[in-house]
Amino acid sequence: MRLFLLCSRAPPLPPLLRLPALTLHRSWSASPHRWRPFGAAIANGAKLAVADINAKGGVDGRPLQLVIEDDQASSASAVSSFQRMVKQDHVVAVVGNWISEVALALEPWATRLHEPYLITGAASNDISAYVHKDYAERKYTFHAYFPSAFLAAGVCAASHDVLSTELNMKTAVIISEDAAWTKPLDTSLNQCLPDSGLQVLKEIRFAPDTTDFTPIFQQAESLNPDVIISGWAHVGVQPTVQWANQKVPLALAGINAQAGSSAFWKATNGATEGVATLNVAAPDVATTPLTIPFTNEYIKAYGVTPAYSAYTTYDAIYVLAAAIERANSTAPDAVVSALEKTDYVGTQGRLQFLGPDSQFTHALRFGPGFVTGVVIQWQNGVQKCIWPLNLANAKPEFPGFVKLPKLASAN
Amino acid sequence: MLAVQILIDGFAISALYALGALGFTLIFGVSGVLNLAHGAILVTSAMVAWYVGTDSGGGAFTGAAAGVAAGVVTAFVTYGLVVRPIQRSKAIPGVERELFVLTGTLLWGVMIQILLADVFTTTPITVEQLVSGTIDIFGVRTAANEVFIAVVSWAVLGLLWLLVNRTPAGRRLLAASINPRALTLVGVELDHVHLLAWGIYGVIAGIAGVLLGSFLGTSSAYIPALTGTAFAIVVLGGLGSVSGTVIAAYVVGYLETLTAYLVSPSWRAVPALILLLAVLYFRPQGILGRR
The per-residue pLDDT for range B112-159, each reduced to its tens digit, is 999 998 888 777 889 999 998 899 998 888 889 999 999 999 999 999
pLDDT digits (tens, 9 = 90+) for A116-150: 999 999 999 999 999 999 999 999 999 999 999 99
- Maximum Cα interatomic distance, chain A, rounded to a whole number of Å: 73
User: Which of A351, A368, A395 is at the close of a domain?
Assistant: A351
Distance CA A77, CA A97 (A): 12
Claim to verify: residue A17 and residue A103 sit in the same structural domain: yes
Among the partner residues A237, A238, A247, nearest to B134 by beta-carbon distance: A247
Q: Are residues A238 and A339 in the same domain?
A: no
Domain membership flag for residue A399: no
Residues A239 and A201: their CA atoms lie apart, in Å, by 20
Q: Say yes or no for a CB contact (<8 Å) between A37 and B121.
A: yes
Q: Is a pLDDT exceeding 80 seen at residue A3? A: no
pLDDT at B269: 79
Residues contacting A313, CB < 8 A, separation 6+: A19, A21, A41, A42, A45, A46, A49, A95, A96, A120, A121, A144
pLDDT of A220 higher than 90: yes
Q: Please indicate, yes or no, if residue A209 is contained in any of the structural domains.
A: yes
Are both A195 and A158 inside the same structural domain?
yes
Query: HSE (CB half, 13 Å, CA atoms) of B272?
Result: 28
Q: Are residues A108 and A7 in the same domain?
A: yes
Task: Say if B252 is an interface residue toward chain A (CB within 8 Å).
Answer: no
Domain of A171, in residue numbers? 149-279+380-387
Q: Give A40's contacts in chain B (Cβ within 8 Å).
A: 121
Q: Are A115 and A332 in contact (CB under 8 A)?
A: yes
- The verdict on a CB contact (< 8 Å) between A26 and B122 is yes
Q: Is B183 a residue whose pLDDT tops 90? A: no
Query: Is the domain of A172 the same as that of A233?
Result: yes
CB contact under 8 Å between B257 and A211, yes or no, is no
- Sign of CA pseudo-dihedral B78, B79, B83, B84: negative
Interface test with B, best of A212, A238, A264 (most B CBs within 10 A): A212
Q: Is the pLDDT assigned to residue A36 strictly greater than 80?
A: no
Contact in structure between A243 and B143 (CB atoms under 8 Å): no
Domain boundary among A301, A335, A351: A351
For residues B32-44, give the mean pLDDT: 95
A236 assigned to some structural domain: yes
Confidence of residue A230 (pLDDT cuts 50, 70, 90): very high
More confident residue, A104 or A12: A104
Q: A30-34, B104-108, B113-117 — which is least confidently predicted?
A: A30-34
Across the interface, which of B134, B224, B225 has its CB nearest the CB of A246? Answer: B134
- Checking if the pLDDT of A32 tops 50, the result is no
Q: Is residue A73 part of a domain?
A: yes
* Same domain assignment for residues A262 and A158: yes
Indicate which of A269, A273, A275 best probes the interface with B, i.e. most B CBs within 10 Å of its own CB: A269
Residue A368 covered by a domain = no
Shared domain for A75 and A88, answered yes or no, is yes
Residue A209: pLDDT band (50, 70, 90) is confident
The nearest CA of chain B is from the CA of A39 a distance in Å of 11
Query: What is chain A's Cα-based Rg?
Result: 21
Residues A160 and A241 in one domain: yes
Question: Domains in chain A: how many in total?
Answer: 2
**Assigned CATH topology for domain B2-282:** ABC transporter involved in vitamin B12 uptake, BtuC (1.10.3470)
pLDDT tens for A147-187 read 999 999 999 999 999 999 999 999 999 999 998 899 999 99
pLDDT confidence bin for A8, thresholds 50/70/90: very low
Structural domain boundaries of chain B? 2-282
Rg (CA), chain B: 19
- A226 and A192 share one domain: yes
pLDDT over threshold 90, residue A110: yes
Instruction: Evaluate whether residue A24 is within a structural domain.
Output: yes
B112 touches chain A (CB under 8 A): no
Of B141, B46, B53, B118, nearest to A269 (Cα)?
B53
**Pairing state between β A374-379 and A382-387:** antiparallel
Q: What is the pLDDT of residues B194-250, one digit of tens each?
A: 999 999 999 999 999 999 999 888 889 889 988 988 988 998 998 878 889 999 999
What CATH number is given to the structural domain containing A86? 3.40.50.2300
CA of B201 vs chain A CAs: smallest distance (Å): 25
Q: Closest to B126 (Cβ–Cβ): which among A178, A237, A246?
A: A237
Domain shared by A11 and A29, yes or no: yes
Asked if residue A17 has pLDDT above 70, the reply is: no
- Say yes or no for a CB contact (<8 Å) between B266 and A207: yes
- Is residue A93 domain-shared with residue A178, that is, in the same domain? no
pLDDT above 90: percentage of residues in chain B = 51
Distance (Å, whole) CA A211 – CA B127? 14
Residues A159 and A275 in one domain: yes
Task: Decide if B265 and A218 are in contact by the 8 Å CB cutoff.
Answer: no
Angle between helices A291-302 and A36-55 (to 10 degrees): 110
Backbone phi, psi, residue A205, to 5°? -115, 145
Q: Taking 90 as the threshold, does the pLDDT of residue A294 lie above it?
A: yes
Is A25 within 8 Å of B114 when comparing Cβ atoms?
Answer: yes
